[in-house]
Chains A and B, each alone.
Chain A
Amino acid sequence: MSFGCQTAPVPSEVREAEIQEQDLWRAGASLYAGQDHAAYLQLLKSARQVLEKENFKLGWFRDYRRVSRDFAAALDAGAALKSRVEIHKSRRTAELSASVAIVRGKLQTLDNLTLSLVERGQARRQLTRASVLLAETDVLLRQARFDEAASKLDSAAALASEAEATVVSYIARYLDPGQVRSWKRAAEETISESRKKGITVLIVSKLERRLAIYKNGAVIRSYDVGLGFNGLADKRHSGDNATPEGRYSIIRKIPSSLYSKALLINYPNEEDKKWFAQEKARGRIPKSIGIGGDVEIHGGGQDTLTRGCISLDNDKMDELYGLVEVGTPVTIIGTMELENYVIKAIRDK
């Protein structure tokens, strides 16, 4: 018989508790349940002190039963703590995910808006940067790095708001009730002329990208159209890539052009020339820049961008060409709708 040579093995709970302590730290227990975590650590410390006391004894005299009980109690406390931490993290994940969904929805609305408005500048760049930040937020959320995720989300939301402001600024005229009423009046007067004279007229609504043919005051056809690179702006001078607004008429029918059939309109009209002269006199338009011209309605596709012309799909252009004559009035407006789709999209997002 050898005294103290055969020692009882240290209970497995000791090693399990070590692993659990690390797991709880990695799970962020001190962050999400600080007080409970401190209590758990105290329990663990007491259990370790008991273990140390037993280890001081000669092996023959060691009794790890109390050690096993104390570590088991610590393990139970640790498991309960882990559960609380997981609940807290789930709650936090759900809260942040809901916020991410809101920002994502806003970005989607603005993405669709900028595409339909052909906003090719600052707003789209801001949206792209916001979407990068949102994707990074997703990564951080999956890693349960909540504070960093919240910070990235704030940045994404801020950029989305900047993009929204850019879009609103880009289409400010379309949100102005006075301007919209003025456009609506011009369109209604043209339609009234169609009714009274029994003639065909064209109304182009730039925001909706629609060209409508009226005969005897009633719509007989309507088509989707493309506009200039800067189509939503009112044409002011040569090279501004804007589609003009106002009352015009067809002055020439071109059966074969670079873009299938074409209808030349009389831009600049008298009103355009008067405004241009005033702006030149005020020095707001450089002397070297002309008023521009050669604005047509032509084929080539309703999803193309032009230098200010109005483009249709070739088959629709063929149809339109057959329904109009030289002298047919063409009224180009921004929109007739006070509650247009842009306002609705920005309000309802």
Chain B
Amino acid sequence: MKNIVKGLTLALVIVFAFTSCAKQPIQQMDAAKAAIQGVVDAKGGLYAKDELNRLNGDLQAAMDEVTAQSKKFFKKYGKAKEMLAAVVTNADAAKAQIPGRIAEAKAAAEAAVGEAKTAWDEAKALLEKAPKGKGTKADIEAMKADLAGLETAMGDVQAALAAEDYFGAKDKAMVIKEKALAIAEQVNAAIAKVKR
């Protein structure tokens, strides 16, 4: 009798073991997808591109493992669960890095904007020193219009900053700075012509 009970118990344990391993790790799959979505929502597409790519690759590999196991008679999802858990861990790690990267990008954009504004202000100050009114040179008047055009472009930079498009804001600010410096050079040359 004891042996029958032991045998039945063992059989039950074996069936239980295979049954519990036989369930697809739905919860873990959902958690992994949610973790990756969290990275995307935190602007990972911009600030953690490489990590996001790897995470998507790892998730795909884990899903492939789940699919492969689901086709077997004796399903073992242990490895898939490990892979999915790793996706969650790595996604959380990637997400944790994003705020720091955003702060860096923001700081770089703000620095570029500051430099562009300084260059613009200097060009404007120079133009204000240039001869005004009748007798002024036509090219100096053209530069005033150019500087007004740059001022409008600076507005676009502010809009990019407000939309947290820090890379775009930095690129635009750097272009504006170069153009403002070029105008300042031209103004100096034009003023020198007037003095002659």
Verify if A127 is at the interface (C-beta below 8 Å from B). yes
- B139, A132: Cβ atoms under 8 Å? no
Inter-chain CA distance A48–B60, complex, in Å, is: 13
Partner of B57, one of A21, A127, A131: A21
> Taking CB as reference atom, which chain A residue is nearest B54?
A22
Q: Is B150 at the interface (CB under 8 A from chain A)?
A: yes
B110 vs chain A, min Cβ distance (A): 18
A296–chain B nearest beta-carbon distance, Å: 11
Q: Which residues of B contact A25 (CB under 8 A)?
A: 53
If over half of B's interface residues share one DSSP class (helix, strand or loop), that class is named, otherwise mixed; here it is helix
Stretch at the interface among A113-121, A262-270, A331-339: A113-121
B10 CB-CB contact with A under 8 Å: no
Interface digits, B116-146 against A, CB 8 Å rule (1 contact, 0 not)? 0000000000000000001111110110111
Binary per-residue interface labels of chain B (137-175) against chain A in the complex, 1 for a CB within 8 Å, 0 otherwise: 111011011101110110000000000000000011001
Shortest beta-carbon distance from B37 to chain A in Å: 19
Residues of chain A lying within 8 A (CB to CB) of residue B109: none
- In the bound complex, CA of A137 to CA of B178 (Å): 15
Number of interface residues of B (CB under 8 A): 28
Our pick among B64, B141, B145, B171 for the contact of A128 (Cβ within 8 Å) is: B145
Q: Are A127 and B149 in contact (CB under 8 A)?
A: yes
B176 within 8 A of A: yes
Per the bound structure, the CA–CA distance linking A118 and B134 in Å amounts to 14
B138 near A306 with CB under 8 A, answer no
Q: How far is the CA of A21 from the CA of B175 in the complex (A)?
A: 34
Give the chain A neighbours of B148 by CB distance below 8 A: 124-125, 128
**Does A304 interact with chain B (Cβ within 8 Å)?**
yes
- The interface on chain A, measured as residues whose beta carbon lies within 8 A of the other chain's beta carbons, has a size of 35
How many A-B pairs fall under 8 Å by CB?
87
Residues of A within 8 A of B54 (CB): 22
> Within residues 16 to 42 of chain B, which ones have a CB less than 8 A from any CB in chain A?
none
Pick the contact of A120 from B57, B135, B141 — CB < 8 Å?
B141
Q: A125-B145, A127-B149 given as contacts; is B135 within 8 A of A132 (CB)?
A: no
Contact of A125 with B134 in the complex, beta carbons under 8 Å = no
Kindly provide the distance from the CB of B175 to the nearest chain A CB, expressed in whole angstroms.
Answer: 4
Query: Is B50 close to A, CB under 8 A?
Result: yes
Say yes or no: is A146 at the interface (Cβ < 8 Å to chain B): no
Determine the residue in chain B with the shortest Cβ distance to A116. Answer: B138
Query: Is there contact, CB below 8 Å, between A132 and B153?
Result: yes
- The complex places the Cα of A211 from the Cα of B139 at a distance, in Å, of 21
Closest Cβ–Cβ distance, residue B157 to chain A (whole Å): 10
Interface contact A115-B139, CB-CB below 8 Å = yes
A84 at the interface (CB under 8 A from B): no
Given A22-B50, A22-B53, A45-B64, A300 and B153 contact (CB-CB distance below 8 Å) = no
**Which one, A22, A115, A136, contacts B175 given CB within 8 A?**
A136
Interface residues of A, Cβ cutoff 8 Å to B: 21-22, 25-26, 45, 48, 114-115, 118-121, 124-129, 131-132, 135-136, 139-140, 226, 229, 259, 300-301, 303-307, 309
Since A139-B175, A300-B135 are in contact, a sample of 17 more A-B pairs with Cβ atoms closer than 8 Å, ordered by chain A residue number, is: A21-B57, A22-B50, A22-B54, A26-B50, A114-B142, A119-B145, A120-B141, A120-B142, A124-B142, A124-B145, A125-B152, A127-B149, A132-B175, A301-B135, A301-B137, A305-B136, A307-B134
12 pairs, A vs B, C-beta closer than 8 Å:
A22-B50, A22-B53, A119-B145, A121-B145, A124-B148, A125-B145, A128-B149, A128-B152, A128-B153, A303-B137, A305-B135, A305-B137
